[in-house]
Amino acid sequence: MALLVLIGIASVYSATYDAGASQYFNRQVIWAGAGFLLMIAIWLLPFRTLQMISYPAYAVSIVMLIAVLVAGKTVAGTKSWFGFGGFGLQPSEFVKITTLMALASYLSYRQLDRDRLGEIAATFGIVLLPFGLIVLQPDMGTAVIFLGALFLILTWAGAPVFLLLAVVAPAAAAVATLFNTTAFVIVITATLALLFIMRTNRLLSSMVFSLTVLVGVSVQYLFNQLAPYQQKRILTFLNPDADPLGAGYNVIQSKIAIGSGGIFGKGFLHGTQTQLNFLPAQWTDFIYCVPSEEFGFAGALLVLALLTALLLRGVQLASMVKSRFSSLLAIGIVSVLTIHVIINIGMVMGIMPVIGVPLPFLSYGGSSLLTSMIMAGILLNLHRNRKEY
């Protein structure tokens, strides 16, 4: 984890080196230091504290979300910032944690049951309140993460995986089929693999699978019925190459950056895409391009492997803690991080639509890095207290 932060710092350094933005690097170091201290502090918190403060923290963060809508600063069309002197703060980042805590707290003494509609509604409500406020900003990337995380947590909390898959797989197929055939095949294969692993009723499995394929094919058919201008709008969203100087520019440049890195990269501070600013603000959402270009496949793989290891470790933690609150909170954090990674890296590699989502631990941004570090601190805390009920 520390290694990830270091790679992140190095990447931000490279990304801002000679780009007239070296203050970003200095700040990132400060944030990292502050985040590290915060992480240690949280690690050492008594076991019950996290659960105790979950509702108040949630309430405070919701108030902040409302406040930012009223009094926030607008950056790049999104009203999500508080300005404090030279530093900005994004409440939406911290809300991720407080929402996870509140959700874990709520679900920790309830079993989700089909008969208790009120509880299901409350569960959704805890997530949908901040979700709605974030959509108002509007910050689609963060909003998507809330929804995605909700599904994963519900799965963990006992909702049938199969049901979730039945909802998610056809939707994924619908998007993938518009993207290209390869993506469609990947989704189909993944669905098949998951169904196989779950070993549920064969009839149901094949029904879900058929549904996924059917949705994919019929979306393709429906798409062909659309007027050309409508098709173009959808395609530009999905496939930025169709509009190389507009919305697609970033993704094309990021693909070039990653692709031109080759196996061993161009060398630290020698990535032409990075150093010559072909990626606008490459130190934020497109940070993954930097190690990929300068250290090639080796660097990109290392970052991906570290992130994957962290996530798997999180899953393991969630499955071994004794407390249900701990388990839910751990899996919540893993879910949020997972979706961040999926969207961010998928985006820079051109297999996900461009949604502004930072890469945990790596991207520049105080709120984002602090949130990541707090999450890490919580995971450490839960691990330290794994035997507690």
For other proteins, the closer CB: 250 or 367: 250
Longest dimension (CA), the chain: 61
> CA 8, 9, 11: angle at the middle one, nearest 5?
65
Residue list 252-291, contact with other proteins (CB under 8 A): 253, 255-263, 272-273, 276-278, 280
CA distance 28 to 34: 10
In the bound complex, what is the minimum distance in angstroms from residue 160's beta carbon to other proteins? 11
In the bound complex, what is the minimum distance in angstroms from residue 270's beta carbon to other proteins? 11
Site string for other proteins, 289-308 (x = CB under 8 A): ---x---xx--xx--xx--x
Contact flag: residue 349 with other proteins (CB under 8 A):
yes
Amino acid making up residue 141: G
Contact flag: residue 319 with other proteins (CB under 8 A):
yes
For other proteins, the closer CB: 35 or 291: 291
How many C-beta atoms surround the C-beta of residue 387 within 10 A? 10
Question: What DSSP designation does 358 have?
Answer: P
Three-state DSSP state, 376: helix
Residues 251 and 243 sit within 8 Å (Cβ to Cβ): no
Distances (CA, A) of 249 to 151, 179, 245, 289, 329: 32, 17, 5, 14, 38
Contact flag: residue 245 with other proteins (CB under 8 A):
no
> CA 203, 204, 208: angle at the middle one, nearest 5?
120
Residue 225: Cβ-neighbour burial (10 angstroms; 0-12, 13-18, 19+): exposed
Contact flag: residue 248 with other proteins (CB under 8 A):
no
Secondary element (H or E) of residue 123: helix 117-136
Scanning 36-44, 74-82, 248-256, 375-383 for contacts with other proteins by CB under 8 A, the matching segment is 248-256
How many C-beta atoms surround the C-beta of residue 158 within 10 A? 12
Residues 289 and 348 sit within 8 Å (Cβ to Cβ): yes
For other proteins, the closer CB: 30 or 163: 163
Which residues in 39-62 are b (16+ Cβ under 10 Å) and which e? Answer: beebbebebeebbeebeebbeebb
Choose, by CB under 8 A, the member of 197, 203, 227, 245 that binds other proteins: 197
Hey, which residues does 75 pair with through a beta bridge? 78
Residues 191 and 165 sit within 8 Å (Cβ to Cβ): yes
Scanning 58-66, 97-105, 115-123, 191-199 for contacts with other proteins by CB under 8 A, the matching segment is 191-199
In the bound complex, what is the minimum distance in angstroms from residue 320's beta carbon to other proteins? 9
For other proteins, the closer CB: 58 or 278: 278
- Helix (H) and strand (E) counts for the chain? 15, 3
In the bound complex, what is the minimum distance in angstroms from residue 63's beta carbon to other proteins? 33
Residue list 30-89, contact with other proteins (CB under 8 A): none
Question: What DSSP designation does 360 have?
Answer: T
Contact flag: residue 251 with other proteins (CB under 8 A):
no
Scanning 85-93, 97-105, 192-200, 353-361 for contacts with other proteins by CB under 8 A, the matching segment is 192-200
For other proteins, the closer CB: 222 or 312: 312
Residue list 91-150, contact with other proteins (CB under 8 A): none
Choose, by CB under 8 A, the member of 34, 190, 234, 235 that binds other proteins: 190
Q: With CB under 8 A, what is the number of residues at the site for other proteins?
A: 50
Choose, by CB under 8 A, the member of 54, 92, 123, 155 that binds other proteins: 155
In the bound complex, what is the minimum distance in angstroms from residue 71's beta carbon to other proteins? 35
Q: Which residues of this chain interact with other proteins, rule CB under 8 A?
A: 152, 155-156, 158, 161, 186, 190, 193-194, 197-198, 253, 255-263, 272-273, 276-278, 280, 292, 296-297, 300-301, 304-305, 308, 311-312, 315-316, 318-319, 331, 334, 338, 341-342, 345-346, 349, 351
